[in-house]
């Protein structure tokens, strides 16, 4: 077995003052380093400023960065997608990807800011989500099907400080003598820990399986079986929306989708660097 390429993204959210929360997302892969940061109001989650930087790439060819002016005043919350896409349209996929992770981190870190966000306790926040995101898996396994409460899952395990949320996503590409490419992707944060292993043969998914090590609810486990529906599909041709539909759509798991999207990003990164390095290094990416 040969390890060929690795990509890690670490996202952290911290309360930096009485009025401000800061989310940062950092990418380190085999040949590139990049970061994004959002500063937002603790009370409203309105964005004060956002920026991104690529500060290490092959020959410095991709090194650049700047402030994302179009995000000023936007709410760093569930419905930020359209504003984020418009604000990063001319910047490419990488800034948008890292800024998306920053916003996701703020949403998941909200539990540590109950008073600032106008909630007396966690049950009130959970009620809001049951009323407004009952079929969502963004924060907690489909709340309309849950067998336990969100507060019941974290109670007794979590104490709140200025550190509100941490998440790591990793993906490693490796190959063996069979000529097939395998990619292992993992996600770990305060509330979840799960992994997916995808096997590709000339770009076609020939095997896909996963496992939860930690999850908020037993209903999460039902989503693993849907990964098999990806077998036979051309991985690179699937959009994120299509990936989500194959693994259950509204009934699926957003965190499994996050890992699959990260695996796809890692494969595309490896392929991009093959071109930048004029064919030297990770030639396996062309087979994936």
Return the closest-CA partner of residue 244 out of 233, 236, 255: 255
Q: Is 190 helix (H, G, I), strand (E, B) or coil?
A: coil
Domain residue spans of the chain: 2-287
Residue 251 has pLDDT above 70, yes or no: no
pLDDT for position 288:
37
35 phi, psi to nearest 5 deg: -145, 155
Return the closest-CA partner of residue 25 out of 108, 76, 97, 89: 97
Tens digits of residue pLDDT in 54-64? 999 888 988 99
Residue 286 has pLDDT above 50, yes or no: no
Residues 6+ apart with CB under 8 A from 53: 34, 35, 36, 64, 65, 66
Tell me the average pLDDT across 127-131: 79
Residue 144 has pLDDT above 70, yes or no: no
pLDDT for position 89:
93
pTM above 0.85, yes or no: yes
User: How far apart, in whole angstroms, are the C-alpha atoms of residue 135 and residue 166?
Assistant: 24
Percent of the chain with pLDDT over 70: 85
Residues 6+ apart with CB under 8 A from 239: none
pLDDT for position 282:
45
Residue 115 has pLDDT above 50, yes or no: yes
Percent of the chain with pLDDT over 90: 58
Please give the structure tokens belonging to residue 72: 């000023």
Strand ranges (DSSP E) for the chain?
A: 2-15, 20-29, 33-41, 47-56, 64-67, 163-175, 181-189, 193-201, 204-214
Burial category of 9 from C-beta neighbours within 10 Å (exposed 0-12, middle 13-18, buried 19 and up): buried
Residue 254: strand pairing partners: none
Tell me the average pLDDT across 84-90: 95
Residue 266 has pLDDT above 90, yes or no: yes
């Amino acid at each position: 077995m040969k390890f060929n390429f690795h990509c890690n993204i670490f996202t952290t959210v911290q309360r930096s003052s009485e009025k401000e929360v800061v989310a940062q997302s950092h990418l380190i892969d085999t040949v590139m380093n990049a970061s994004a940061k959002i500063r937002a109001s603790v009370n409203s989650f309105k964005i004060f400023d956002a920026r991104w930087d690529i500060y290490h790439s092959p020959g410095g060819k991709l090194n650049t960065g700047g402030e994302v002016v179009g995000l000023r005043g936007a709410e760093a919350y569930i419905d930020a997608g359209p504003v984020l896409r418009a604000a990063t349209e001319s910047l490419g996929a990488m800034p948008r990807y890292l800024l998306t992770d920053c916003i996701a981190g703020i949403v998941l870190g909200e539990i540590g800011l109950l008073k600032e966000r106008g909630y007396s306790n966690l049950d009130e926040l959970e009620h809001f989500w049951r009323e407004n995101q009952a079929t969502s898996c963004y924060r907690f396994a489909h709340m309309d099907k849950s067998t336990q409460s969100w507060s019941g899952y974290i109670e007794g395990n979590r104490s709140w400080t200025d550190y509100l949320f941490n998440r790591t996503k990793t993906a490693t590409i490796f190959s063996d003598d069979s000529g097939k490419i395998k990619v292992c992707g993992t996600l770990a944060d305060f509330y979840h820990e799960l992994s997916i292993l995808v096997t590709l043969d000339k770009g076609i998914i020939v095997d896909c399986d996963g496992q939860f090590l930690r999850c908020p609810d037993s209903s999460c486990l039902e989503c693993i079986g849907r990964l098999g529906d990806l077998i036979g599909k051309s991985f690179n041709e699937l959009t994120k929306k299509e990936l989500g539909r194959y693994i259950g759509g509204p009934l699926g798991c957003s965190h499994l989708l996050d890992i699959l999207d990260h695996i796809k990003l890692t494969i595309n990164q490896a392929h991009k660097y093959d071109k930048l390095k004029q064919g030297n290094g990770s030639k396996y990416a062309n087979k994936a």
